């Protein structure tokens, strides 16, 4: 009996030591997994940094998102350079992130003056040089163009010398557009009161407003007239605004005044 007692204790000790080896094996596996994860994270960080450097921004955005954004901009440039497909000047258009300085001999032409930007682009293409669209990758908007400095200087000079002539031409065109819109309104609604006619022209057809009279998405001029007069009647002659002030939902308010709007339009059209 005395000889078996130590063996029993050693057996227990051996059992414990075996049990202790299990956590040790698990810990080794966990350590390997952690190392693999750290390696993957390191590779991802390097790829992200490379994409950020190529895109000109320091935010470390995924390369896929940068590439997708670049493709969208390239489509816009192709359309601007020569319509759908491959335009004749497509090879002379490129994109520059806002963090990148202009190429040597180039200067930034801010967007805003259509005459200057259009002529800078046209003359740069004619000279066989590249136009760079400067894009803010964080705000996702175009800031302007990088244009050869000599071409920009020449365009500015021409813009100054032709300012008076161009202003007169724009005013003449605006008068023609207003006269054409007035004729179209009177053709469709010959009994519209003069005050309402002027109100529709000054609101729906106001230059730069992007309202229905100036909309590029509504191609039919007759449809533009209908929508412009309908909106005017709804807001001025139907009680629609009063309903909105009382808290009535927009769609419900439109439904309530629809018959009134139809009646006024019929009256101005001369339907009875």
The pLDDT value given to residue 3: 46
Q: pLDDT (tens digit, 0 to 9) for every residue of the chain, 272 residues total?
A: 444 444 444 444 444 444 444 444 444 455 555 656 666 555 544 444 434 444 444 333 334 444 555 565 666 555 555 544 445 667 888 888 889 999 999 999 999 999 999 999 999 999 999 999 999 888 888 899 999 999 999 999 999 999 999 999 988 988 888 888 899 999 999 999 999 999 988 887 776 655 565 555 555 677 888 888 999 999 999 999 999 999 999 999 999 999 999 999 999 999 86
Compute the half-sphere exposure of residue 112: CA atoms within 13 Å on the CB side of its CA: 4
CB 225 within 8 Å of CB 247: no
Residues 178, 259, single domain; the answer is yes
Site of tokens 């605006």: 174
Residues 189, 99, single domain; the answer is no
CA dist., res. 104 & res. 55, Å (int): 20
Determine the 3-state secondary structure of 206 from DSSP.
coil
Q: Which of 140, 161, 182 is the C-terminal boundary of a domain?
A: 161
Give helix then strand counts, H and E, for the chain.
9, 4
Which structural domain, as residue segments, surrounds residue 256?
Answer: 173-269
> Does residue 97 sit within a domain?
yes
> Does residue 25 sit within a domain?
no
Counting the structural domains of the chain, the total is: 2
Residues 127, 189, single domain; the answer is no
Compute the half-sphere exposure of residue 179: CA atoms within 13 Å on the CB side of its CA: 6
Residues 156, 67, single domain; the answer is yes
Residues 157, 178, single domain; the answer is no
Residues 126, 82, single domain; the answer is yes
Q: Which of 128, 161, 194 is the C-terminal boundary of a domain?
A: 161
Q: Which of 131, 161, 191 is the C-terminal boundary of a domain?
A: 161
> Does residue 151 sit within a domain?
yes
Site of tokens 């590029």: 216
Residues 134, 181, single domain; the answer is no
């Amino acid at each position: 009996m005395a000889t078996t007692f130590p063996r029993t204790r050693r057996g227990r000790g051996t059992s414990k030591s075996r049990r202790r080896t299990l956590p040790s094996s698990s810990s080794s596996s966990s350590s390997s997994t952690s190392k693999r994860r750290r390696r993957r994270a390191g590779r991802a960080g390097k790829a992200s940094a490379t994409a950020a450097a190529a895109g000109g921004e320091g935010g470390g955005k995924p390369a896929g998102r940068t590439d997708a954004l670049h493709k969208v901009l390239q489509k816009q440039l192709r359309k601007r350079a020569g319509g759908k497909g491959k335009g004749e000047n497509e090879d002379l258009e490129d994109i520059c992130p806002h963090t990148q300085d202009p190429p040597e001999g180039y200067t930034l032409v801010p967007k805003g003056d259509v005459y200057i930007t259009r002529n800078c682009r046209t003359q740069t293409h004619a000279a066989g040089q590249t136009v760079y669209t400067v894009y803010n990758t964080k705000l996702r908007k175009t800031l302007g163009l990088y244009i050869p400095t000599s071409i920009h200087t020449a365009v500015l000079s021409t813009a100054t010398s032709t300012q008076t002539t161009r202003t007169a031409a724009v005013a003449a065109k605006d008068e023609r557009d207003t006269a054409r819109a007035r004729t179209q309104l009177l053709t469709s609604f010959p009994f519209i009161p003069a005050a309402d006619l002027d109100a529709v022209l000054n609101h729906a057809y106001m230059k730069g407003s992007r309202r229905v009279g100036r909309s590029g998405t509504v191609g039919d001029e007759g449809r533009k007239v209908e929508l412009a007069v309908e909106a005017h009647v709804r807001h001025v002659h139907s009680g629609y605004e009063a309903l909105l002030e009382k808290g009535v939902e927009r769609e419900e308010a439109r439904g309530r005044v629809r018959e009134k709007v139809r009646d006024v339009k019929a009256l101005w059209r001369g339907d009875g």
